Amino acid sequence: MPINLSDEFEAACSRHRGVPFKDLSEIDQILVAIWALEGDVNNGGFDQYYFNSSGDTAYYAPIALRRIGAMRMADIVDRANFHFGPSGPPISGDERQTALFKLTESNEKLWHDLDKEFFRYPDDISALLERFVEQNLAGRH
């Protein structure tokens, strides 16, 4: 029976409630990070992603994308994260928002090109994620 990605995302997000991200299984970390990334970037660009709590997992998003085989999308997110410096965006929402304001204060169009690249979806994240989850859920269910 094929998996339903929406159900898998919801289940992973539900397991994340009250549980630190680092304590989730690898599959749940990947699902939560990609769900947060896609939801916010598609809704309001990288600026919104980093501003919202979704950005708490921004450091992990390129890892999650590479793990499912979305190398070009991972590169886009790496380049977006690098605007915060070599350590990437802070995990703390307050620190990340302060850094974000400093970045965008000097360059309002900072995210424009990366947003456009992301919206082109050079990798089929849904198909790659579906295959990854199917291959890795066998031992979980």
Q: What is the pLDDT of residues 6-57, one digit of tens each?
A: 889 899 989 999 899 999 999 999 999 999 999 999 999 999 999 999 999 9
Instruction: Report d(CA 99, CA 95) in Å as an integer.
Output: 6
The C-alpha atoms of residue 25 and residue 12 are separated, in whole angstroms, by 9
Name all domains of the chain by residue range, CATH numbers in brackets: 5-136 (1.20.1420)
The C-alpha atoms of residue 34 and residue 37 are separated, in whole angstroms, by 5
pLDDT at 139: 54
Cα 2 to Cα 17: distance, rounded to the nearest angstrom: 26
State pTM to two decimals.
Answer: 0.91
Please give the mean pLDDT across all residues of the chain.
92
Give me the mean pLDDT over the 70-93 stretch. Answer: 96
HSE, CB side, 13 Å, CA atoms: give it for residue 21: 19
The one-letter amino acid at 73: M
pLDDT tens digits along 103-118: 998 887 889 999 999 9
* Band of residue 83 on the pLDDT scale cut at 50, 70, 90: very high
Q: Residue 3: what pLDDT?
A: 81
